[in-house]
Structure 1
Amino acid sequence: MLIALQDITFEFGSRVILENSSWHIEPGDRVGLIGLNGTGKSTLLRIINGEYSVSKGSVNKSKNLTIGFFNQDLLSFETDESILTVGMMAFGKALELEKEIDRLTKELEHDQTEELLHQFSDALHEFEALDGYNMKHKTAQVLEGLGFTTPDLDRPYSEFSGGWRMRVLLARLILQQPDVLMLDEPTNHLDLPSIEWLERYLVGYNGAVIIVSHDRYFLDRMVNCIVEVYQQQLHHYSGSYADYEVEKELRREMQQRAYENQQDYIRQQERFIERFKAKASKAAQAQSIAKRLDKLERVEQVDGGPSKIKINFSIDKTPGKILCTLNNISKAFGDNQILKNTSAEINRGDKIALIGANGKGKSTLLRIIFGMEPMEGERVPGHNVVTSFYAQHQLESLDLNSEILDELKNFGSGRTELELRQLLGCFLFTGDDVFKKIRILSGGEKARVSLAKTIISQANFLMLDEPTNHLDMNSVQMLIDALDKYEGSLVLVSHDRYFVSQTANKIWEIVDGEIKEFKGTYTEYEEWKKRMAAQQQAPAPAKAATENKKENKQAAPASNNNTAATKGAINKDVQRELQKQQKQFSQVEGQLASLKERKARLEASLGDPATYNDRTKFAQVESEYQEVQKFIDRANEQYEQLFEKIMQLEANLVTN
């Protein structure tokens, strides 16, 4: 056993964080430490690290145990040394020996005594045992795995931004090879390739690993058990995060049943006491039952669990079929060519995830699509497109003197205060938090306010740059549910693979300056990548066979005129059907626009106090409103069906 927390209690002032909780950490454990924001996850890591002392219980560690703790506080470290040098600080003992060997080498040039030769030999032996000759290579390997290029290794640490500095410090911590590695939100500072590299590295890590993360993909792939901080206790679950969700629900159901059974028992006993406490023959028995009830260990009622409030988007107008066209776009920053003569098109209904390593131009491409980034080439906006852009730079548009709730009210969405407060609750602003001034908020809190404003914007085209960075798992899931029902289109950048897998129906990746499109979900994209990698690694004969099949398939149409003629006839039929469906689609689109205008007029009438003064008029307006809503629902259903048909027919044309 590496660490044993035995019946610990920890308090902040009068607030109890943990009470009589235990946890044993064994070699090889891969633990996902989870819980709602503010329940004490980071506090627990600091208790294990020895920064906080418990008020009750004990924290026991094995002899000579080493602990590595990755967290935001590491950013206080400053130096002008190269990042390679910073990473190599992990090999403290080996670096000392290297200096000692240099000193002894110089002394031996003038004095070759037996004692000096023994010291030199011992130092060389220990340096080799510590793998000192490979420490530079190992450090470079880890830094490059986390996204740095070879030229970056000699650049000063002070030149890098906070996110890149965190990568250097994570590399240093990994290279130290502690017995227990504690990672507090490690994926926040990594792009997808770096997260995948970290996963591969941690799979073979010899020590125990404790991870706090809201990245469900990362937890599912990394952990073999879950520890949840819940109701001031530590609850243990074996398996991945997905296993935890199933087991948690079962435990909640069992606890609720136990609570209800106990409440029935208590009510029965209390009725007996009330009925017989004044009766001489039963008074002693009633008193005995009362004492037993006082000593009864009460089962806690299951709380409501995570918030079930739904985030709802509303769209003001329906756009045309094409939202944005990029023709022969090029963009460079000095010698760094981000995009080179590339083209792409965003259609209505597209939910596109821009993925890839940092520095490839994902955020730049978002700004080009939005129209705020100068470039070479042509950007053609679509008809009736209303865009809302969420990114870090949008924080500048917040009024620092406004309260959070007023910032949303003043945005003019038309939502009630209750609706706005519910929305802010989804983004972790509860109770009186909504009255905080924007100027006193942290960067993460400002980002959540800005995201809430994006949601109430009534845009039909969303652009989201890392929207999940400052959200907990529950808020991320609510955002996923909302985007799943969102009737508009979107382009997003995110390193949260679970979020991407649940929201995107197309994947864009910037490769060698070009936008490469994959039509499908992120899960399908990953499977396709694996197939391509397997083909690349296949033996030469297998590859040749694959190429021959491709050639045969390509050659067949040229040698078969009948097949070509048949396909031509099919294409004409498909085109005729496509034109027919497109015509119907346009008609339904016009009907929807007209119905929505009528609905807006009726809503304005229902909001007029004069309407309520006339009972007959109110009943008539309300009836018309309900009727219009039914028509809109039917038209929306027909709209979706026609849209799917058109997409299928277009796909058939491409296939044929």
Structure 2
Amino acid sequence: MISINDLTFLIGSRALYDEADWHIKPGERIGLIGANGTGKSTLLKIIVGEYAPSSGSISMAKDLKIGYLNQDLLSYDSHHSILHVAMEAFERQNQLHDEIEELLKTIETDYSEEVLNKLSDKQQEFEALDGYNIEYRANEILAGLGFSTADQHRPLNTFSGGWRMRVMLAKILLQTPDILLLDEPTNHMDLPSIKWLETYLMGFEGAIVIVSHDRYFLDKVVNKIVESRKGKLTPYAGNYSFYLEEKALRGEIQKGEFKNQQAKIKQEERLIERFRAKASKAKMAQSRMKALDKMERVEDVDDDNPTVNFKFKFSKPSGRHVIKVEDATKSYPNVDILENAEGLIEKGDKIALIGANGKGKSTLLRIIAGAEGFEGKVETGHNVTTTFFAQHQLESLHLGNTILEELQAFAPKHTDTELRGILGCFLFTGDDVFKKIRVLSGGEKSRVALAKSLTTDSNFLILDEPTNHLDIQSVNILIQALQQYEGTFISVSHDRYFLDNVANKIWFIEDKDIKEYPGTYAEYEEWNSKRPPAAPTTIPVKAQKEVKPKVAEEKPANQQSQLKKLNEQLQKREKEISDLETQVKEIETELADDQVYGNPAKLAEANKKYQGAKQELDKAQKVWEDLAAEIMEIEG
């Protein structure tokens, strides 16, 4: 289908690709992965002919139809409806439609056989190209990508960049190409749209090449991984999870080969050193030296998964209640976001705020951060210190600073060694820390801004799309950092792997209220899959008619009474869990004490106390989960 042979691509004196090979076969669904800066997007542009290789060749069939989605399409603008823009994919059908319309007008005055034959030929071709169904197909794909029927008749230029990107994706999918090249297709999508796209691509009959940092998306969609690394392209015959296992296995084999070769080299070097001074053995030593020079060296395995080796600390822990939202009401022109909404964030909560675009997730984060006006009240708890990370904060980085200077100015209490350790965790090593902010890519700036956020003395973090512009390696680092973070945070993200590994509570906005699920993202997904589907919504726009607020359905009096009792029991259990957690921590400290650790009798007694406290804590947490599930069942 597409054959890449001995591809070399130079940027200045640096070889982004160095005699790389890759063959894309029909029907393959490939995930093209690699760290930021390894040339993934560049490679797609080389394939479509936007860039010319420095040397090597790319061959493909002349009639191969390529559908290419890239971030540059965000700049496309049109006053036509998005349905019209999507249907531009049907170039020949649209041309035939216009010609048929003209012939129908002509036939009103000209009944000649020539005109009738032309009309018949055009109609037959139009029917053969399924022209009568193109609007239905466009409707179907746009609906899958989150557009309501009303939205489809709005002009493209009334939509934000993220929604425009979806329209361009719809147009590409409607062209039914032989191969799809998708550069970060989920970047501007909410979770429902990502799931729809997964299903669509799994049924797509052509070949697909996807550049993405979304591990779950890659696992669902692709059946092959190609890694761009050190100028080469290395294939793995499976999805992303298979790639991780296979790469680890190959790494172990390579480590063994490297170790054995190094031992052999040292042995040879010792022999050469011993015999080179002896005249009778000098020839043999010279021969061994030549053989050693010609030996093809096995490279040592680089660690592609650095670990976060420091703890994020803050001087003051917060009180039990971190944030309390009361009677929050927020609306934009003709769009109601919240109405008398309530929410409580408690110490130790790791909250994922999820939902479709346009539901008000980022608005709620700004309300909590005090950066958005609204009606109602947000009460910040005792000793709560907050840091708010959002993409716009990348603009507040000082372009003239080096990376290290940026952190020094922001976190003066940290030593340079500590700051360099933190930057190392975010993949800025060695002289990288002296790079000016102005020369960094979007992903690198995101990493600097995240490093700044995590060096603060804050015990409460508000994170709006922290995984945007991060590659898989950087997302893993952020996950490790947040897993070690002992404070409280709330985060908006569409990266399910990220959410699944950091969140212990899920928030979502529904019926203009803040709803909570007390569990992980995977548990929420299972629970949510059993709920009846929500009614479709329309994307907010000023020109829409005013949406009248729905009247909340009253709960029966006996349910209200039952809910009250259950909530009281839940609060008692929360206090009990908090006390038991403190007790467990105290015993852990006791177990680490040398006087206890070195005394078998004291150690046995402390261990017994620890096991008992842990069992009590597990029981209390199980009761709390059962109560929470019962409350959610009643609330519906």
2:147 maps to: 148
**Which amino acid is the alignment partner of residue 20 of structure 1?**
E
Q: CA 1:320/1:61 → structure 2, altered by over 3 Å: closer, same or farther?
A: same
Between 271-280 and 204-213, report the one with greater CA deviation.
271-280
Q: Higher relative CO (CA 8 A, sep ≥ 6), structure 1 or 2?
A: 2
Alpha-carbon displacement from aligned partner over 1:150-202 (angstroms, at most 9, x marks no partner): 22223322233322222221111111111110111111111111111111111
Q: Secondary structure at the match of 1:532?
A: coil
Q: CA 1:491/1:644 → structure 2, altered by over 3 Å: closer, same or farther?
A: farther
The reply on whether 1:388 has 2:387 as its aligned counterpart is: yes
1:236 maps to: 235
1:69 maps to: 68
Count of residue pairs brought into register by the alignment: 583
How many angstroms does 1:283 deviate by? 4.6
How many angstroms does 1:127 deviate by? 1.4
2:325 maps to: 326
Q: Residues of 2 paired with 1:75 and 1:576: CA distance?
A: 52
2:216 maps to: 217
8 A Cα contact 1:5 1:23, kept in partner: yes
Q: Residues of 2 paired with 1:533 and 1:241: CA distance?
A: 32
Q: CA 1:288/1:155 → structure 2, altered by over 3 Å: closer, same or farther?
A: same
1:183 maps to: 182
How many angstroms does 1:129 deviate by? 1.9
Instruction: Kindly indicate which of the two structures has a greater share of residues assigned to helix.
Output: 1
Q: CA 1:288/1:403 → structure 2, altered by over 3 Å: closer, same or farther?
A: closer
**Which amino acid is the alignment partner of residue 164 of structure 2?**
R
Q: CA 1:17/1:4 → structure 2, altered by over 3 Å: closer, same or farther?
A: same
8 A Cα contact 1:225 1:237, kept in partner: yes
1:346 maps to: 345
TM-score (norm 1): 0.80
**Which amino acid is the alignment partner of residue 143 of structure 2?**
E
How many angstroms does 1:52 deviate by? 3.1
Aligned ranges 1:484-499 → 2 under 5 Å:
484-499=483-498
1:462 maps to: 461
1:120 maps to: 119
8 A Cα contact 1:142 1:171, kept in partner: yes
8 A Cα contact 1:311 1:478, kept in partner: no
Q: CA 1:38/1:445 → structure 2, altered by over 3 Å: closer, same or farther?
A: closer
Alpha-carbon displacement from aligned partner over 1:599-643 (angstroms, at most 9, x marks no partner): xxxxxxxxxxxxxxxxxxxxxxxx9xxxxxxxxxx9xx99x9798
How many angstroms does 1:304 deviate by? 3.1
Aligned ranges 1:268-279 → 2 under 5 Å:
268-277=267-276, 279=278
2:298 maps to: 299
1:475 maps to: 474
Aligned ranges 1:221-620 → 2 under 5 Å:
221-277=220-276, 279=278, 282-310=281-309, 312-395=311-394, 397-412=396-411, 414-438=413-437, 444-532=443-531
Q: Residues of 1 paired with 2:70 and 2:504: CA distance?
A: 34
8 A Cα contact 1:31 1:224, kept in partner: yes
Alpha-carbon displacement from aligned partner over 1:353-389 (angstroms, at most 9, x marks no partner): 1111111011111122223322223322221111111
TM-score (norm 2): 0.83
Q: Residues of 2 paired with 1:111 and 1:453: CA distance?
A: 76
Q: Secondary structure at the match of 2:228?
A: strand
8 A Cα contact 1:226 1:238, kept in partner: yes
How many angstroms does 1:278 deviate by? 5.7
2:539 maps to: none
Q: Residues of 2 paired with 1:3 and 1:525: CA distance?
A: 42
Alpha-carbon displacement from aligned partner over 1:257-289 (angstroms, at most 9, x marks no partner): 112222222333343344445656545544443
Q: Residues of 2 paired with 1:141 and 1:464: CA distance?
A: 34
**Which amino acid is the alignment partner of residue 219 of structure 1?**
L
**Which amino acid is the alignment partner of residue 330 of structure 1?**
T
8 A Cα contact 1:575 1:653, kept in partner: no
Q: CA 1:381/1:119 → structure 2, altered by over 3 Å: closer, same or farther?
A: same
How many angstroms does 1:100 deviate by? 1.7
How many angstroms does 1:398 deviate by? 3.9
Q: CA 1:412/1:126 → structure 2, altered by over 3 Å: closer, same or farther?
A: same
8 A Cα contact 2:580 2:617, kept in partner: no
Between 195-204 and 426-435, report the one with greater CA deviation.
426-435
Q: Structure 1 regions of 5+ residues with no counterpart? A: 537-553, 559-567, 596-622, 624-633
Q: Residues of 2 paired with 1:47 and 1:580: CA distance?
A: 61
Q: CA 1:533/1:220 → structure 2, altered by over 3 Å: closer, same or farther?
A: farther
How many angstroms does 1:530 deviate by? 2.5
Q: CA 1:34/1:440 → structure 2, altered by over 3 Å: closer, same or farther?
A: closer
8 A Cα contact 1:10 1:54, kept in partner: yes
8 A Cα contact 2:182 2:211, kept in partner: yes
The reply on whether 1:107 has 2:106 as its aligned counterpart is: yes
Alpha-carbon displacement from aligned partner over 1:34-67 (angstroms, at most 9, x marks no partner): 1111112122222222233334443221341111
Q: Residues of 2 paired with 1:88 and 1:469: CA distance?
A: 30
8 A Cα contact 1:310 1:478, kept in partner: no
Over the matched positions of the two proteins, sequence identity in percent amounts to 53
8 A Cα contact 1:310 1:482, kept in partner: no
How many angstroms does 1:307 deviate by? 3.0
Alpha-carbon displacement from aligned partner over 1:572-616 (angstroms, at most 9, x marks no partner): 999999877767889999x99xx9xxxxxxxxxxxxxxxxxxxxx
